Structure 1
Amino acid sequence: MKNTLFSLLLILTASIGMLAQNSAAKQEIIQLSKDKWQWMADKDANKLSQLFHEKSVFVHMGGSWGKDREVNIIKGGMIHYKKADIHSVSVNIIDSTAILLNRITLLASVGGNEVTNPFEVTEVYVKQNGAWKLGSLSFTKLNTTN
Structure 2
Amino acid sequence: MKSILLFVSLSLLTLSTTFAQSAEEQSLIQLSMDKWQWMSDKDVDKLDKLFDAKAKFVHMSGTWKKDEELDIIKTGRIWYKKATVKDTAVEISGNTAIVWNRINLDSIVRDNVAINEFTVTEVYQKQGKDWKMLALTFSSVRDTHQIKH
Band the TM-score falls in, shorter-chain normalisation? 0.7 to 0.9
Task: Tell me which residue corresponds to 1:6.
Answer: none
In 1: Cα distance, 2:23 partner to 2:42 partner:
28
Residue 143 of structure 1, CA deviation: 2.3
Task: Tell me which residue corresponds to 2:114.
Answer: 115
Alignment check: 8 A CA contact 1:53 1:134 kept: yes
Task: Tell me which residue corresponds to 1:90.
Answer: 89
Matches within 5 A, 1:1-146: 23-144=22-143
In 1: Cα distance, 2:129 partner to 2:81 partner:
30
Residue 145 of structure 1, CA deviation: 6.8
In 2: Cα distance, 1:94 partner to 1:78 partner:
35
In 2: Cα distance, 1:100 partner to 1:139 partner:
12
Alignment check: 8 A CA contact 1:88 1:103 kept: yes
Residue 105 of structure 1, CA deviation: 0.3
| One-letter amino acid matched to 2:65 | G
In 1: Cα distance, 2:69 partner to 2:61 partner:
12
Residue 95 of structure 1, CA deviation: 0.2
In 2: Cα distance, 1:140 partner to 1:78 partner:
20
Q: Secondary structure at the match of 2:72?
A: helix
Deviation string for 1:4-38 (max 9, x for gaps)? xxxxxxxxxxxxxxxx9x70110110000000000
| One-letter amino acid matched to 1:34 | M
Q: Secondary structure at the match of 2:22?
A: helix
Aligned-pair identity (%): 51
Q: Secondary structure at the match of 1:144?
A: coil
Q: Secondary structure at the match of 1:48?
A: helix
What value does the CA root-mean-square deviation take over the aligned residues?
1.4
Deviation string for 1:79-133 (max 9, x for gaps)? 0000000000000000000100000000000000011000000000100011100
In 2: Cα distance, 1:62 partner to 1:104 partner:
18
Task: Tell me which residue corresponds to 2:15.
Answer: none
Deviation string for 1:44-97 (max 9, x for gaps)? 011001100001000000010100000000000000000000000000000000
